[in-house]
Amino acid sequence: MADGLLLTGKERARLFWLKLAGGVGPSLVLVAIAAALGSGAVAYSMAVFAVLVGFVIATTAKKPRGALMGGIALVAALLVFQLVVAWFVTHPIEKS
């Protein structure tokens, strides 16, 4: 792939949609799994966060593979964040 200066508008749009799918797609799979397990509000909040950060990933990545790696890293971050929040909510020190 070159620097993209000679790409047509159609090729640029295709490349952007590929990068957007790579940045947002893995996170939306996690959101679908969370929604299927019955966590409605959590799934909605994760979806909004995933789409916003996935858009940032898609616009800053140079190649679709980089966007996919960023999307996978975003899934890991969302999963760790949800585990930490669940641990704080169910921590025994909060029950008095």
The values of phi and psi at residue 95, to 5°, are -90, 115
pLDDT of residue 95: 65
Domain spans of the chain, in order of start: 10-86
pLDDT band, residue 5 (cuts 50/70/90): confident
What letter represents residue 71's amino acid? G
pLDDT digits (tens, 9 = 90+) for 14-23: 999 999 999 9
Distance CA 4, CA 12 (A): 8
pLDDT digits (tens, 9 = 90+) for 12-66: 999 999 999 999 999 999 999 989 998 888 888 889 999 999 999 999 999 999 9
Q: Return the closest-CA partner of residue 54 out of 80, 81, 31, 27.
A: 27
